[in-house]
Every structure is written in C-alpha cells, then in structure tokens.
Amino acid sequence: MILLARNLLLILFFTVLATGADLEASPKNRCRVSFPSDSSIDWFCYQIKQNETAESLFGKHWENVLRFNRIDRNHLRPGKYIKVPNDLKSVVDFNPMPLKLDRAKDYRKYVLIDLSEQFLGAYDYGELTLSLPVATGTPGHGTPKGLFKVWGRERWHRSTKYTISGTGILYPMYWGIWFHTSKNWVRFWIHSRDMPGQPASHGCVGLYDEEMQKKFYKRPDSPELMDSKKLYLWLFPDGLKDDVPGSKLTEYPEGLQGALIEIK
C-alpha cells in the first residue's frame, strides 16, 4: 500500500509538471516580449519566484520552455516574467521556422534568421537541419537585413569594443561566424552570447553558449546548451580543429563556397 501510494504521488507530480497547473498565472500583458509564433502555443504568463529554477519548475521540459522563451538559465531570475505552456509537451522540439525552404535548395548550407521570431534555421539543400533561438540587435543597433556570404570563422573571437558588464573583460564572441562588414568597417558576427529572451546585441546574432557563461559567470553549474558550437560545426565540418588555444581567424576572401546567410 505504501509503495502504491508513493507511485500515485509520483504520477501526480509529473502530471502537474507536464501541465504547469501548479503555477500561479500573471496577467498576460506582463509578458511584454512577443513573437508571431506565440499564437501557436497555449500559454500563460508566470513570474519567477525566489529559489526557482528552470529544472525545478519544468522538470525534463526545462530546455524546451527556455527555447520557447528565447532565454538562458542565467536570466531566469526572481521577478522575471516568462511564458509557460499550458501543456509543457507542446513545446517539445519547438520550431517556428519553415521545414523546407525552396530558395535554399541549391545551397549546401543556408542560414535563415527571422528577426521577428528571434529564431534561426539552418538548411541543407533546403531541408531544415537546425532550429535555434537567437538574440539580435536592439533598436538603434539593428542587425542588418539581406543576403550575406560567410567571410570568416574564429573559435575564440572577442569583441574589440564591448566588455562583460561591470568588468574590463572584452566580451567573448566564441564560435564566431563573420558574415558582414559595414561601410564604417564594423564587422557583424553570429556568435556565443547571453540570451535574455529579447533582442539585446549591438547588431550581431547571439546563440546559447553555457560553457562560455560557466567560464565567465561561474554558472550554470552543468553547461548543456551549446547552440553556437552546434551551428559552427554544422557550417564548418572541420571546425573542431579550431577548438585549441590560440587558434586564429580563418578568412574566406571569396566567401565560403556553397553557403549563404539570409536575414529578414
């Protein structure tokens, strides 16, 4: 009887986790950041409480909920409002990007970045291979739109201008993919960055890198989300050779053959 009661409690616990039914909803307008695909999921707004984590709130679905919110674990802080799916299983493999892209079918590697969705799709000959949340430029520091070639790659790239807030440490833009240079000679990259759940950069395109965050912020304890590395190795199959101390920028003077980046 004791064992049966324990099993029933476990079933009830994981059922509650799967529905989010134990969380107190806040007014939806408190979740001020919105994306077109929000309407595809039934969700409610929730304010993070003290000592709550993605894992404690959402169990095995924590990564899916974070990706739906385009946010990292370090930004899931007390007072933060996030969107919680009524059914956590509804955001398993969440993807707002098209599964097929006809205009990409002639390209070996094609990256589509949707600024309105804050999401990136990586396509092999028009077939979606990766779908990843991003953080792009803020108003006044917009990410450029258009079609771009890949001009270079640099595993350990760092900003030459911006620092980690509150420090003198140049911001780590690891697993960097250089795709544009402005008329003012400003280079734009796809790279590792913090993911606060909204546009946050000076024009570059940021992706999850919890190993970078662990190195510079000492958290999360166990890095798991490594989208910047994932995209880098997808685009450059030999990219692991760059993952050694001291590796430098590799340039493609004519652009990386068979690759194109579209930002819209």
Distance linking the first and last C-alpha atoms of the chain: 60
Burial of 134 from C-beta contacts in 10 A (0-12 / 13-18 / 19+)? buried
Residue where the block lists tokens 């803020």: 138
C-beta atoms surrounding 230 within 10 Å: 17
Active site residue 180: yes
Looking only at the bridges linking them, the beta strands covering 109-114 and 259-263 are parallel
Task: Give me the catalytic one of 45, 180, 191, 202.
Answer: 180
**Residues annotated as catalytic (active site), given as ranges:** 180, 204
